[in-house]
Structure 1
């Protein structure tokens, strides 16, 4: 079962007490040790964390509980990862190491910088999510996006957030969310995301110390291999982030994960899969998203998923779904 560091619940007890609730009672109902409410370094089941947030939200009649907890959290709760983030050369580098080592804190979560789902020029989507097929807990999603938003502000100040994308309509009024994020909130979207300027990735961070960053990355690299059970998710997250921008080869991905290619191959075989299968799955999901939620030209879709030409995209669509990319997009348009 995927686990998460109890640091993710920092601020929970104080927020619940402020609302007149009983944090220990909610922990017991969620099947969570009460010790997790007062320590940053316990590993606890991530579904128990999701449950306690939902139980507490209902118990305190506070529909925006996740946002309130996020307002009490800070980057420091990420430990060594916080050091690596703060001392990165650019925001893009900070996001890359966050994506690579987020599993040290939350094994099932991913963070990827993707093409804007609306195809807006100069805009990217910082997408947060769980593996496909798992439900998105509302309060947990609010907490994660709220923390992410505040962490970026901590690093660079106001950053030009365009909109917040949510899968479900929040229980709290949208105005509460728009006041927190200072941007429009859209619901019914494929995945939780922050839409932000693409130029943000190249923005340099001041006061960085390369030595501290190297030490933090070395520590994280030692911790990450212990999560071999999540190697498929780590490869998926890396491919999702780099698809279309770097060569989709096992050597490239292994370098990003600080593993030797043969070691990565061995880990994947133990999980009953191979690199080419994971790559194909990631490409299929990305193509489906581009064809059903954007109007990006077909040749660009091919490039975004690392295919050499539009003909290769057509071949893949036939293999995956028995139809052409044009037919998939046409069906989407007729259904609207």
Structure 2
């Protein structure tokens, strides 16, 4: 089974919080194999296990067991991406939670939320399953806090949970937890999540505009069917993620997905694709985007796209786009009238050989 992925949006505010707490966010991101320059691409998918590792490392490096809660303070409803548009317009908190549960895979495939109701109380249970046996304390605290904030946004500041529960033990200092939740959390509990009065979930959503509800539903329907993402889509995301790290190979992609390379080949073949074709297309798209911008030098781009030398990158780029990187960047400057050529789907033998195999 493929390992779950999460959106970069799961790390919203990470740079700011890390710097505020005196740790190096760039170094920590690279330690877990994530590209710091891609943090602003919120809808890009990355391994959920990498996010979990990053949060645990950041908590340890900063000496702050409440790291995830500090990160949650930077969350807004919009962090949920397109899903936030529809959640905002649901008539009450219960229907908003049900929508979040139904479409949670659009945000984080490792996140699992379940809601049960009994004797006037509703338990919203949260778990994180990153596909590996790694600590998830910080990830769980982040997810529970985000659900708490969602309910607070929908119901108003007057709402308070009956209890907030965590399966893990109490930290030495739980003052941030008390402040965030407005009540002392219960640690070493049977589950992680929130217990609230069922009646509170029937309260009208104070953010909702009934006139926009139909439009919000139509918008969500155009975005995604709540079906499991395909391996083909995951391969494309992982290729884009791994190329700048110099570790983009079918073996590495297969390991990230939790399958063998034959499974990757088989799924790609079903859609008439090969791994090499996906790699070539993604490499060309990244090159086009990086060269058109001014953030990176051509030497840096060459390294990020796994070329052995800047000259081999330049030769490959000219074959793909019909212009040198320098000319392409000039034509992409403000007021440029036209582009020269279009990227081709094939790739030179030299360029293919420049991609590391492991």
Aligned residues: 224
Say yes or no: does 1:192 pair with 2:195.
Answer: no
Deviation, structure 1 residue 25: 0.4
Equivalent residue, structure 2, for 1:169? 169
Equivalent residue, structure 2, for 1:127? 125
Equivalent residue, structure 2, for 1:96? 98
Equivalent residue, structure 1, for 2:17? 15
SS of equivalent to 2:26: helix
Alignment of 1:56-135 (within 5 A): 56-115=58-117, 121-131=119-129
8 Å CA contact 1:21, 1:56 repeated in 2: yes
Deviation, structure 1 residue 217: 2.6
Equivalent residue, structure 1, for 2:179? 179
Deviation, structure 1 residue 228: 5.2
Equivalents in 2 of 1:220, 1:91: separation in Å? 22
Between 171-180 and 26-35, report the one with greater CA deviation.
171-180
Alignment of 1:139-218 (within 5 A): 139-157=138-156, 158-205=158-205, 206-208=208-210, 209-218=212-221
Equivalents in 2 of 1:190, 1:216: separation in Å? 38
8 Å CA contact 1:162, 1:184 repeated in 2: no
Equivalents in 1 of 2:18, 2:83: separation in Å? 27
Structure 2: segments with no counterpart, 5+ residues:
232-358
Deviation, structure 1 residue 136: 5.8
SS of equivalent to 2:103: helix
Distance change (3 Å), C-alpha of 1:97 and 1:136: farther
Equivalents in 2 of 1:97, 1:45: separation in Å? 24
CA RMSD of aligned residues (A): 2.1
Equivalents in 1 of 2:179, 2:162: separation in Å? 14
Query: CA deviation digits over 1:188-242, x for unaligned, max 9?
Result: 12221111111122222242412232123303434x335257xxxxxxxxxxxxx
Distance change (3 Å), C-alpha of 1:109 and 1:134: farther
Structure 1: segments with no counterpart, 5+ residues:
230-336
Query: CA deviation digits over 1:18-51, x for unaligned, max 9?
Result: 1111101011112222234332111000010011
SS of equivalent to 1:186: coil
Deviation, structure 1 residue 172: 4.6
Deviation, structure 1 residue 114: 1.4
SS of equivalent to 2:42: coil
Deviation, structure 1 residue 179: 1.7
Distance change (3 Å), C-alpha of 1:216 and 1:111: farther
Query: CA deviation digits over 1:308-332, x for unaligned, max 9?
Result: xxxxxxxxxxxxxxxxxxxxxxxxx
Query: CA deviation digits over 1:153-198, x for unaligned, max 9?
Result: 1111132311111011143523331121001211112221111111
Query: CA deviation digits over 1:275-328, x for unaligned, max 9?
Result: xxxxxxxxxxxxxxxxxxxxxxxxxxxxxxxxxxxxxxxxxxxxxxxxxxxxxx
Equivalents in 2 of 1:124, 1:225: separation in Å? 27
SS of equivalent to 1:13: helix
SS of equivalent to 2:224: helix
Tell me which protein shows more helix as a share of its residues: 1
Between 2-11 and 103-112, report the one with greater CA deviation.
103-112
Q: Which of the two has higher C-alpha Rg?
A: 2
